[in-house]
Amino acid sequence: MRFIDEARVWVKAGDGGRGCVSFRRERFVPRGGPDGGDGGKGGDIVIRAVSSRTTLLDLKYRQHFRARHGGHGEGSNRTGRDAEDVEILVPTGTVVKDGETGEVLADLVADGQRFIAARGGRGGKGNAHFATSVNRAPRFAQPGERGEERTLLFELKLLADVGIVGLPNVGKSTFLSRVSAARPKIADYPFTTLTPQLGVVTDGTDRSLVFADIPGLIAGAHEGAGMGTRFLRHVERTDLILHLIDISREDGSDPALDYETVRSELRQFSPALADKPQIVAVSKLDLPATRDNLQRAVEAFKKKSIEISAFSAVTGEGLDPLLGKIFSSMDEMRRDRGKTS
């Protein structure tokens, strides 16, 4: 299944049914009168979030949704049938925007959360409603109201606790595959990961966190370089950022500069994203070059008041302390939220 996190659709709610013009005609009833029934309500277009879906792929194949109109009124004061609503299922974490203005209409973060994107028109009143002492036989009824129509833009933001960021090939996917059951594609070339990957990580008890592996960032990503910032929206909902750094490269690159490159791209995308709590970790501890450069990296980041961890996803060295640090940070943030709420 392809990962699709954006979709644009057109929706049209149902029109209300017409009111009826009718008069009572019964044998042995000396005085009849108007008995036209009301029209039924048109169907709504309803967006519902479901946790069983993980992509907006279905909305790439069907981009038009139209609800039925309400039933027309009938004689003998019979009201037309209300039309059924049309329901569009989207993954939890989907943001619904107005396709013309970009205004956020709804943020569906809970399973089963619903939003009426277009309301069906009300049914028109039949002529029985318009009878008066001076007009006992009205020969008119109301037409039904038109249902709303609009273009909607859907944007999916994955729901995760921890977002893993870094330059390409720093070991994000290898880390996720080691600590969770996720199986992202792993290779030794840049941009192996083309879409965000989710993995559930446990600490051996009943606690668990959802990690999101975000495709690698490079300098100029906010201007469209590399993978651009298209997938950074998936980090916006995370509580904690795990920033991975590779110090094993022999091209003379500066780990501190690599760190600042990614931080700059986060800041360009969203200042709030750059201000999220973070943990910085050095990957590929199993490589001799990493061990040789580790102390130098520790001292460089210490000048920035940043404490770094080191681990190897291949041998498992340093993974337990790193995960313990992540879980402890998450527990502390949740306690702080509980105090302020």
Same domain, 188 and 117: no
pLDDT string in tens for the chain (341-residue length): 467 888 999 999 999 999 999 998 777 766 778 999 999 999 999 999 998 888 898 898 899 999 999 999 999 899 999 999 999 999 999 999 999 999 999 999 999 999 999 999 999 999 999 999 889 889 999 999 999 999 999 999 888 899 999 888 888 888 998 988 877 666 555 555 567 788 888 877 778 889 988 887 766 655 665 556 667 778 888 899 999 999 987 766 788 888 898 888 888 888 888 888 999 999 999 999 999 889 988 998 998 899 999 999 999 999 999 999 999 999 888 887 766 55
Scored b (16 or more CB within 10 A) or e, 254-282 reads ebbebbebbbbbbebbeeebbebebbbbb
Same domain, 91 and 119: yes
Q: How many other C-beta atoms are found inside a 10 Å radius of the C-beta of residue 144?
A: 28
Give the chain's domain count: 2
Q: What is the dihedral of CA 46, 51, 56, 57, to 10 degrees?
A: -120
Q: Give the residue numbers spanning the domain of 123.
A: 6-156
Give the helix ranges, DSSP H, for the chain. Answer: 58-61, 172-179, 255-269, 271-274, 288-302, 319-340
- Domain end position, chosen among 156, 185, 202: 156
Contact 137, 33 (CB under 8 A): yes
**Whole-prediction pTM value?**
0.75
Same domain, 171 and 315: yes
Q: What is the DSSP letter of 62?
A: -
**Does residue 1 sit within a domain?**
no
